[in-house]
Amino acid sequence: MVLETLLMSSSVLLVILAVCVVLYYKWCFTYWKRKNVFTLPPSIPFGNAKENFYRQVSFAHSIIRLYRIIKSKGLQYGGYYMLWKPIFIPVDPNLIKLILNKDFDHFTNTVNYSNEKTDPLSGNLFFLKGDKWRLIRSKLSSTFTSGKNKSMLNTMVKCTEHMPNILDRANEQGEAIEVKEFYARFTTDLIGACALGVNCSALLDENSPYRDHGRRIFDIRPNQTIKSLLYMAMPNVLKFFNVSINRKDVESFFLNTAKEIVEYRKKNNIVNKDFISLLMSMMNKEISVEIKTGRSKNPDGERIFYSQNGLTQNEIGCQAFVFFQAGFEMASTCLTFLTYELCLNQDVQDKLRNEIVDVLDKYNGEITYEAINEMTYLDQCVYEALRKHPPFIPIHRECTKTYKVPDTDLVIEKGTPVFISAWAIQHDPEHYPDPERFNPERFSKENKAKRNPYTFLSFGEGPRFCIGMRFGLLEVKVGIASILPKYKFSISPKMQVPIEYDPNEFTLTAKGGIWLNVDKI
């Protein structure tokens, strides 16, 4: 009888708990309705994210689909539910401009989960919040000036020397190459040399430790996908239980590598004009910066002084990690899809090749900083590839201060995530007619002037735009300029056309890879 009583009591408690959970969900799912914001009907327990949790569709593609529905209704914004958590989805470029730039002081943080104690790599520039982000961002900006990029040009060009070995072998053997892997090996060598001052040897050895761990960064396991979705809905819970997002083997490799580089440079008194040296200059001493805020009644702006203790060894390691991660992945993704589009549009490939050859002839066949800047059609092709295939699809911000959307009654509450789909905006026929056509002329000086600049967001915008944008563009241009005059690329029967994006990848990736034939000119 005692056992029966306990079982009955437990069953009653479970029923009560289940009813409470259902009622809580139903109340949460009225959030956007109470604010008169359109959203698709959510369901318990996933909200609008059921397909994301089952890895059928990426979160980014869910936002793309919602964007199109919101636009079809003539609305400026809509809502989304990740589990019970409401997410704000703006689609109007003018509203996006306010969020990313003009009213940035209301949206200073990203939604990224950061727990430096348990997950040191999460303490990087992209994930940092508040004053610490402002300070580190301001200090690191000096690494990415035009002058610094120009000084690294020769190192970049040197990293292209082994690219012909792979292309010639493919040509001689009549084999297709998977260009994402080919370009990832190149950009791994480049970012290792320019940022860390190390020889990664990825083009010479496909199993180079740096390339191997670069693959592991983006080898997204099912549990990592779930954790990435959960941190949007319950970051404090994950932090309480000390959940780690990054893989421990990746963490160990990059933190130890950075430590070895720092110790070697200290011991041998080596000071280079690169990323790791700048980080070392901020080690073990107070760092400070005076920053002008975005909005103030004072026309000169309000100036705030920030300071903190110097960077620790682990903090140096995680900044080096994220620069390595973003530096090789963004550039290799852009190079991959640019080359793919050149294969589908052979007239564009021929025109681009002719421009590169003509410009290099003026510089005795040498790739110089001035030569790259003269290749205007190359610049247009790169931007068009980034428009069609933005490497990192969603841009996200967290509302850090209650915000009233201008000319509406809507108030976005503090803590609300905001997601902006660069892919959806850049495929919107209102902004780019016939958006699936690869047309570099969209980025001529005249055509760019006709468009709202917030209709191109592959690098983000505002104070948190991609700090390495110019460096990344230079990577891509050097890579293409070094091989296109000597090789012609075409689609291999081995690959699927049109491509289908893989929903389980963090960055934009084609299912089955991009396989191309290579012919020597």
pLDDT digits (tens, 9 = 90+) for 365-423: 999 999 999 999 999 999 999 999 998 768 999 999 999 999 999 999 999 999 999 99
> Which pLDDT value is given to residue 140?
82
Domains and CATH numbers, the chain: 20-520 (1.10.630.10)
In a 3-state reduction of DSSP, which class is residue 498?
coil
Given a cut of 80, whether residue 132 has pLDDT beyond it is yes
What's phi and psi for 208, nearest 5 deg? -50, 140
Query: Around Cβ 299, how many Cβ atoms within 10 Å?
Result: 5
> Which pLDDT value is given to residue 299?
43
* 159 within 8 A of 190, measured Cβ to Cβ: yes
Cα separation values, 210 from 241, 251, 505, Å: 31, 13, 20
What's phi and psi for 206, nearest 5 deg? -65, -15
Q: At 431, is the pLDDT very low, low, confident or very high (cuts 50, 70, 90)?
A: very high
pLDDT digits (tens, 9 = 90+) for 166-208: 999 999 999 999 999 999 999 999 999 998 889 999 999 999 9
Taken in order 219, 221, 224, 226, the sign of the CA dihedral is: positive
Determine the average pLDDT of the residues in 273-291.
Answer: 73
Consecutive H or E run containing 333: helix 313-344
User: Could you tell me the strand order of the sheet in which 487-491 lies?
Assistant: 177-178, 515-520, 487-491
Consecutive H or E run containing 306: strand 303-308
> Which pLDDT value is given to residue 439?
98
What does DSSP assign to residue 413?
Answer: P
Query: Taking each helix axis from N to C terminus, what angle separates 313-344 and 179-191, rounded to the nearest 10 degrees?
Result: 140
pLDDT digits (tens, 9 = 90+) for 60-81: 888 999 999 999 999 999 999 9
> Which pLDDT value is given to residue 297?
40
* 394 within 8 A of 417, measured Cβ to Cβ: no
Given a cut of 60, whether residue 441 has pLDDT beyond it is yes
Query: Taking each helix axis from N to C terminus, what angle separates 313-344 and 248-268, rounded to the nearest 10 degrees?
Result: 110
| pLDDT: which is higher, 399 or 228 | 399
Distance, in Å, from the CA atom of 254 to the CA atom of 247, rounded to the nearest integer, reads 11
Taken in order 31, 34, 37, 41, the sign of the CA dihedral is: positive
Q: Is 159 annotated as a binding residue?
A: no
Query: Around Cβ 273, how many Cβ atoms within 10 Å?
Result: 12
Cα separation values, 385 from 170, 282, 409, 428, Å: 25, 37, 38, 15
Least confident of 42-46, 166-170, 318-322: 318-322
Least confident of 106-110, 113-117, 489-493: 113-117
Determine the average pLDDT of the residues in 483-487.
Answer: 98
* 483 within 8 A of 516, measured Cβ to Cβ: no
**Alpha helix stretches (DSSP H) within 192-312:** 209-217, 222-233, 235-240, 248-268, 275-281
> Which pLDDT value is given to residue 294?
46
Q: Is the peptide bond before 498 cis (omega within 30 degrees of 0)?
A: yes
Determine the average pLDDT of the residues in 115-138.
Answer: 85
